[in-house]
Amino acid sequence: MAALLEIRGLSAGLQGRRSVTQVVSNVDLDVQSGEILGVVGESGCGKSTLATAIMRLLTPPQVLQSGTMTMNLKDGSAYELLRLSPRALRELRWRHLSYIPQGSMNSLNPVLRVGRQMTDTLIQHGLSQAEAHERSVAALQLVNLEPRLLESYPHELSGGMRQRVIIAAAVSMRPALIVADELTTALDVVTQRQILQELTNIRDELGATIILITHDMGVVAQIADRVAVMYAGKIAELGAVNGIFEAPLHPYSQGLIGSIPRESGQRIVGLPGEAPSPWNYPTGCRFHPRCPKVFDPCSEYEPGLRTQGSGRWAACHLYDAEVVSDA
Amino acid sequence: MRDLLLVENLTQVFGGRNQTVAVDDVSFRIPAEPTIVNLVGESGSGKSTIARIILGLLRPTAGRVLYDGTDILTPDRGWNRIFRSEVQAVFQDPYSVYNPVYKAERVLKLVIRKFGLAKNKSEARVMMEEALRAVDLRPEEVLDRHPHQLSGGQRQRLMLARVYLMRPRLIIADEPVSMIDAGMRASFLNILLDFRDTHGISTLFITHDLSTAMYLGGEIIVLYQGRIMEQGETRGVMQAPQHPYAQLLISSIPTPDPRRRWEEDLSTGPLAEIELSAAMERDRCLFADRCPQVMEKCWGARPTLGPLEADAAVADSRQVACYLY
């Protein structure tokens, strides 16, 4: 079966006066139907740019440079996201493709009731007032909120409730794909746990696919099925969550997982150095200046994302027999 | 020996008509020997308010803070100068602290000048370089840069270099790592541990992130709606929390291990989030409406913080405010 979303050679950057600075480089990624895919990386690694590119919401100076993105829906229809007209795109968004941007719980309109803000979108997509109301109530129930909250103003709700309203709005059209960027970052751990569990329930109930963008390895370990580790605009490693956490292949994933505090009194080193900014991505492997396992080819050739068997992919010369034997 | 810091019955009430009790009769101590005390709680639990009171930025409604035996609000300029140099703050946002117009070195130079730490320029330079090395920064990489040219981790460590110049006895760190990436976080926390071990500097570490508190060790104080629910040795509390709130909080940490996922689905049931009510009855256990083990008694009067009974499984300095014990 074809993947729900097939991303090929996606590159996006920032338009400067003379040239484009590439932020996301040549990303190949298949998002499987019904999975929760965690996209992790440090700030500035391009994970939010990737999310906005998927939604086709890049705004100048951000530009899309190349690539294709195909969305294959269950009814057999396929959409080439990068070719769609603005009108067709508007149809697709929310109905099939939904986005929860970072910090969106603070973007509810303070002077409109929650219900109005939820039904507006639905009516825009051709539902009647009554249908829209019904859908909104159903969506609120998915996140354990009472229907009477439709009458509330955003300031009457706690942060966790506002985030739930946003999730409810995003899933009210029962989209096939939900892209959520730092969904629980501003919330405390108990609320975070509840919301992530609700998200998992939504996936099960609606059969939706979720791309969860986060910097929190703990969140990914708790709810993701697969993980894509991003570094400096590229996917460094991709695979099932258990495998990545138990035996990360890429030295960057190893560093990222190794820098999680686990126990008192047991010192960890963390990742030395700083992630590069798009203006000075190193040549060769972009991680090589920080890599503890760096060897000759790393500064010269850029490693491609290669399959390592059992659904695991890594972009590292260590796992390329030819390169290793040459060196 | 006198406690380094003694917080006594601190209460802070905000607002006129709709009063909010941000801090409710909180007492704790930081001993004279170098240590790390973690103050943890959700947003709105009063942890930052406590920090601001200790730093003298906010006058409490009731209660007092003694630093080295003296009330921090003592109107004595000489004493104030000592307090200001011995107690240093590190805040959450490593960017807003800096003036973007000046180079990074200015935050260090200012401290050296204001407190007359160096006799001349070359001595000041040596001091700055030593301070930067103490926080794992390379002087040539930061001194001539402007704040926006530094990463969040570098900016926050630069604040620690400034603190290091002062050689304080106590650092009040309010969510210092919440805006730094995971890779850099460990390095920042290691510096605090080094400060304690090699320079005898204590830290009051305020955070909502329990995994960083666990890493730092020392003591932990768990706040909920302005009150202390449980306190004790960090390792012991993390391993075997006794208060139902602490149990909920600690079990909700997203453990970075996909084989140890949350078991119970908390998205429904009595633990589902309560609504914010304007005026809450505070003469009871504040956790009663979410507590899975709630009893009749819990609604009646406020439980006091006390040691666990002698036959309890945990035998540390644990204090819990719960009728179960």
Q: According to the 3-state scheme, what is the secondary structure of chain B?
A: CCCCEEEEEEEEEECCCCCEEEEEEEEEEECCCCCEEEEECCCCCCHHHHHHHHCCCCCCCEEEEEECCEECCCCCHHHHHHHHHHEEEECCCCCCCCCCCCCCHHHHHHHHHHCCCCCCHHHHHHHHHHHHHHCCCCHHHHCCCCHHHCCHHHHHHHHHHHHHHHCCCEEEEECCCCCCCHHHHHHHHHHHHHHHHHHCCEEEEEECCHHHHHHHCCEEEEEECCEEEEEEEHHHHHHCCCCHHHHHHHHCCCCCCCCCCCCCCCCCCCCCCCCCCCCCCCCCCCCHHHCCCCCHHHHCCCCCCEECCCCCCCCCCCEECCCCC
Are A261 and B214 within 8 A, CB to CB?
yes
What is the token pair recorded at A15?
A: 């338009």
User: In this predicted structure, what is the pLDDT of residue B149?
Assistant: 86
- Widest Cα–Cα separation across chain A: 68
| Mutate: best of B158, B212, B243, B273, partner A, most A CBs <10 A | B273
Virtual torsion, Cα A168, A172, A178, A183, nearest 10 deg: -10
Are A219 and B211 within 8 A, CB to CB?
no
The bridge status of strand A234-240 relative to strand A78-80 is unpaired
The pLDDT tens digits for A83-93 are 999 999 999 99
Residue B305 to residues B6, B8, B46, Cα–Cα distance (Å): 16, 13, 17
Are B256 and A221 within 8 A, CB to CB?
yes
Are B275 and A242 within 8 A, CB to CB?
no
Residue B270 clears pLDDT 50, i.e. is over it:
no
Cis peptide before A303 (omega within 30 of 0): no
Say if residues A208 and A176 touch (Cβ distance below 8 Å).
yes
Q: CA B38, CA A240: separation in Å to the nearest integer?
A: 35
Q: CA B159, CA B157: separation in Å to the nearest integer?
A: 5
Of B184, B190, B273, the CB nearest to A158: B273
- Listed in sequence order, the residues at least 6 apart from B283 whose beta carbon sits closer than 8 Å to its beta carbon are B300, B301, B302
**Residue numbers in chain A where pLDDT is lower than 70:** 1, 264-265, 327
Say if residues B213 and B220 touch (Cβ distance below 8 Å).
yes
The pLDDT tens digits for B140-181 are 889 999 988 888 888 899 999 999 999 999 999 999 988 787
Contact residues, chain B, for A265 at CB < 8 Å: 217, 235
Are A261 and B254 within 8 A, CB to CB?
no
Contact residues, chain A, for B210 at CB < 8 Å: 189
Min distance B248 CA to chain A CA atoms (Å) = 7
The nearest alpha carbon in chain A to B185 belongs to: A270
Contact residues, chain A, for B187 at CB < 8 Å: 269-270, 272
User: In this predicted structure, what is the pLDDT of residue A158?
Assistant: 85
Mean pLDDT across the stretch B227-241? 94
Residue B96 amino acid letter: S
Residue A307 amino acid letter: T
Q: CA A92, CA A81: separation in Å to the nearest integer?
A: 9
Contact residues, chain A, for B183 at CB < 8 Å: 42, 255-256, 259, 270-271, 275
B185 alpha-carbon distance from chain centroid: 16
What b/e readout covers B234-257, taking b as 16+ CB neighbours within 10 angstroms? bbbbbebbbbbbbbbbbbbbbbbb
Mean pLDDT across the stretch B202-210? 94
Min distance B118 CA to chain A CA atoms (Å) = 31
User: In this predicted structure, what is the pLDDT of residue B42?
Assistant: 86
Of A193, A219, A275, the CB nearest to B266: A193
Residue B315 clears pLDDT 70, i.e. is over it:
no
| Mutate: best of A142, A185, A274, partner B, most B CBs <10 A | A274
Residue B322's Cβ-side half-sphere holds a number of Cα atoms within 13 Å equal to 26
Contact residues, chain A, for B265 at CB < 8 Å: 197, 201
Of B182, B190, B275, the CB nearest to A260: B182
pLDDT > 70 fraction of chain B, expressed in percent and rounded: 94
Q: CA B324, CA B322: separation in Å to the nearest integer?
A: 5
User: Hey, is A108 helix, strand or coil?
Assistant: coil
Of A221, A224, A259, the CB nearest to B255: A221
The nearest alpha carbon in chain B to A221 belongs to: B258
Of B258, B268, B271, the CB nearest to A221: B258
The nearest alpha carbon in chain A to B254 belongs to: A218
Contact residues, chain B, for A190 at CB < 8 Å: 42, 248-249, 252, 266, 271, 273
Other C-beta atoms closer than 10 Å to the C-beta of A205 total 11
Q: CA B228, CA B306: separation in Å to the nearest integer?
A: 11
Lowest mean pLDDT among A93-107, B231-245, B266-280: B266-280
User: In this predicted structure, what is the pLDDT of residue B278?
Assistant: 39
Say if residues B157 and B188 touch (Cβ distance below 8 Å).
yes
Question: Which residue(s) pair with A178 in the sheet?
Answer: A98, A210
Q: CA A26, CA A304: separation in Å to the nearest integer?
A: 10
Q: CA A277, CA A43: separation in Å to the nearest integer?
A: 10
The bridge status of strand A226-231 relative to strand A36-40 is parallel
User: H-type helices in chain A, by residue range?
Assistant: 47-54, 86-92, 114-124, 129-142, 159-171, 189-206, 217-223, 241-246, 251-258, 321-326
Residue B247 clears pLDDT 60, i.e. is over it:
yes
Q: CA A33, CA A208: separation in Å to the nearest integer?
A: 7
What b/e readout covers A208-223, taking b as 16+ CB neighbours within 10 angstroms? bbbbbbbbbbbbbbbb
A193 alpha-carbon distance from chain centroid: 18
The nearest alpha carbon in chain A to B218 belongs to: A264
Other C-beta atoms closer than 10 Å to the C-beta of A5 total 24
Say if residues B55 and B89 touch (Cβ distance below 8 Å).
yes
| ipTM confidence score | 0.86
Residue A166's Cβ-side half-sphere holds a number of Cα atoms within 13 Å equal to 27
Are A259 and B185 within 8 A, CB to CB?
yes
- Residue A160 is classified by DSSP as H
What average pLDDT is seen over chain B? Answer: 89
Q: CA B39, CA A195: separation in Å to the nearest integer?
A: 25
Helix axes A114-124, A129-142, angle to 10 degrees: 120
Other C-beta atoms closer than 10 Å to the C-beta of B102 total 13
- Predicted confidence band at B75 (pLDDT cuts at 50, 70, 90)? confident
Are B184 and A271 within 8 A, CB to CB?
yes
Contact residues, chain B, for A201 at CB < 8 Å: 265, 267
The pLDDT tens digits for B23-74 are 999 999 999 999 999 999 988 889 999 999 999 999 999 999 999 999 999 8
pTM here? 0.90
The nearest alpha carbon in chain B to A45 belongs to: B181
Of B182, B185, B190, the CB nearest to A267: B190
Mean pLDDT across the stretch B273-291? 70
Are A259 and B275 within 8 A, CB to CB?
no
Edge-to-edge order in the sheet of strand B5-14: B20-30, B5-14, B62-67, B70-71
Residue A315 to residues A301, B151, B204, Cα–Cα distance (Å): 11, 26, 42
Are B182 and A42 within 8 A, CB to CB?
yes
- Scan for tokens 């794909």, then name that residue: A177
